[in-house]
C-alpha cells in the first residue's frame, strides 16, 4: 500500500540507466559543542506529529516520520498544503558531495551483539554515490536560492561523489530512552560529536556542498535529546539538520538502522533483496533531497513547515522496472525509492520535467 502526505512540486531529470562515478572507500574525542544552528522556526501543528523539532538552545532538526506518523499527517485536514515556497535569502545546496559514516561497534550499550552487513553498506553507498545524475536528483533542479540579488539553481550534473568510513569504536553511554531499543540510545549531541570526530580523523570539511550521513547499526536507537521527546522508530526513521565548525556549516543526516516494521509500507518491493537496507535507502534519499532544498531550514518548505520529501513520504508511484519490482534504475541497479514533490507539476514524481 502506498500513501503520501499531500503534494508539492518539483522536477527535472534523466530516465533509464545511468553510469556513476566510482566510489572512494576508506576504512577506519568528540569536539566542543557546535555553535547554535540557524534552523528557522516553522509553525507547529498541535496534536499531530511534529516534523520540526527544536532544542531550547536554538538547534533544530527536520524529521522523516515513521509510516504510522506519516499516515496520521496524510489524513489531517489543512496540513501539508502545497506548494513549496521559497523564503527570501534562504540557501540551497547547489552541488552535492556525500560522506557516509557507518558506526558499527561489536556490541550495543547493553552488551548485545550488533552489526551492519556488507550488503547493507553497499546499498546505502549505492544511493549516496549515484544520487546526483539520478531521476530523483534531477527533480531538484527547479529549486534555487537568491542571495544578494543573484539566483542560483540546484545542479544535477555528473555524479555524486561519496567517501565512506566505518567506525568500530564503542557507542557512548546511552543518553536517551528509545522505547524500540531499550538501553541502546544516542542523542543528537552524541551523533554530532561522532560526525565531528570522524571529520577530524579523515580531514573532511563542511560547507554548503557537503552532507554527512551517519548510519548506526542494528538495535541502536536515537532521540533528539535526553528528554526523549522525539525518537527513532517511535517518531522518526531519519532526520537532517545542521551544525557548525566555527562559521562553516556542517549539513548532516541521522540514519538509524532500517526497520521495515516502522519505516516501510507493508509489501513494498525490495529489488535489492534486503528489506532493512532498502528501508534505510529510501530514508537516505529522502534526507538528501530535503537537505539539498532546505539545508539550513530557511529555503524551501510549505506554509506549515513541510519539506519536499514530506509531501511524498512512502509514496512510490508506478513500478516500471525489474518486472514491476522497482521504480528506479540507476546505472543498471534497481531501486524502490519514494517520490519527491515537483512544484512545476504540482504532484509527486519519480522523474523531473
State the Cα–Cα distance between residues 270 and 105, nearest whole angstrom: 27
C-alpha dihedral over 315, 320, 321, 322, to 10 degrees?
90
pLDDT at 23: 33
pLDDT at 160: 55
Read off the pLDDT of residues 290-309 as tens digits, 9 standing for 90 and up: 999 999 999 999 998 999 99
Burial readout 273-287 (b: 16 or more C-beta within 10 A, e: otherwise): ebbbbbbbbbbbbbb
Cα angle 132-100-337, degrees, rounded to a multiple of 5 = 50
Burial readout 224-261 (b: 16 or more C-beta within 10 A, e: otherwise): bbeebebbbbbbbbbbbbbbebeeebbbbbbbbbbbbe
Integer angstrom CA distances of residue 35 from 67, 205, 326: 33, 16, 42
Read off the pLDDT of residues 201-240 as tens digits, 9 standing for 90 and up: 999 999 999 999 999 999 999 999 999 989 999 999 999 9
Cα angle 314-316-318, degrees, rounded to a multiple of 5 = 160
pLDDT at 161: 65
Please list the residues that pair with 214 across neighbouring strands.
101, 254
pLDDT at 40: 41
Low pLDDT (below 50) residues in the chain: 1-41
Amino acid at each position: 500500500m502506498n500513501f503520501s502526505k499531500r503534494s508539492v512540486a518539483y522536477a527535472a531529470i534523466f530516465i533509464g540507466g545511468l553510469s556513476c562515478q566510482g566510489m572512494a572507500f576508506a576504512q577506519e574525542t568528540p569536539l566542543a559543542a557546535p555553535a547554535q544552528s540557524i534552523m528557522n522556526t516553522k509553525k507547529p501543528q498541535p496534536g499531530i506529529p511534529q516534523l520540526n523539532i527544536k532544542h531550547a538552545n536554538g538547534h533544530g532538526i527536520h524529521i522523516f516520520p515513521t509510516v504510522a506518523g506519516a499516515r496520521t499527517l496524510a489524513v489531517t485536514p489543512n496540513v501539508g498544503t502545497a506548494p513549496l515556497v521559497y523564503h527570501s535569502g534562504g540557501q540551497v545546496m547547489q552541488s552535492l558531495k556525500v560522506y557516509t559514516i557507518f558506526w558499527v561497534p561489536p556490541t550495543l550499550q547493553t552488551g548485545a551483539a550488533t552489526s551492519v552487513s556488507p550488503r547493507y553498506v553497499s546499498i546505502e553507498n549505492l544511493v549516496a554515490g549515484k544520487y546526483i545524475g539520478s531521476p530523483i536528483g534531477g527533480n531538484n533542479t527547479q529549486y534555487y536560492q537568491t542571495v544578494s540579488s543573484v539566483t542560483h539553481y540546484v545542479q544535477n550534473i555528473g555524479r555524486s561523489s561519496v567517501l565512506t568510513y566505518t567506525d568500530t569504536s564503542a557507542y557512548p553511554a546511552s543518553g536517551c530512552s528509545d522505547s524500540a531499543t531499550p538501553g541502546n540510545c544516542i542523542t543528537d549531541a552524541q551523533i554530532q560529536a561522532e560526525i565531528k570526530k570522524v571529520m577530524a580523523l579523515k580531514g573532511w570539511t563542511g560547507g554548503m556542498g557537503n552532507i554527512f550521513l551517519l548510519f548506526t547499526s542494528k538495535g541502536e536507537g536515537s532521540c533528539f535529546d535526553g528528554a526523549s521527546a522525539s525518537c527513532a522508530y517511535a517518531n522518526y526513521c531519519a532526520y537532517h539538520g545542521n551544525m557548525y565548525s566555527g562559521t562553516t556549516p556542517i549539513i548532516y543526516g541521522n540514519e538509524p538502522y532500517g526497520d521495515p516494521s516502522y519505516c516501510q509500507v507493508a509489501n513494498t518491493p525490495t529489488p535489492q533483496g534486503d528489506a532493512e537496507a532498502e528501508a534505510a535507502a529510501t530514508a537516505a534519499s529522502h534526507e538528501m533531497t530535503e537537505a539539498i532544498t532546505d539545508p539550513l531550514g530557511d529555503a524551501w518548505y510549505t506554509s506549515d513547515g513541510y519539506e519536499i520529501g514530506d509531501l511524498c513520504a512512502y509514496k512510490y508511484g508506478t513500478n516500471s522496472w525489474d518486472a514491476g519490482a522497482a521504480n528506479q534504475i540507476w546505472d543498471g541497479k534497481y531501486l524502490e525509492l519514494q517520490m519527491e514533490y515537483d512544484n512545476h507539476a504540482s504532484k509527486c514524481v519519480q522523474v523531473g520535467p
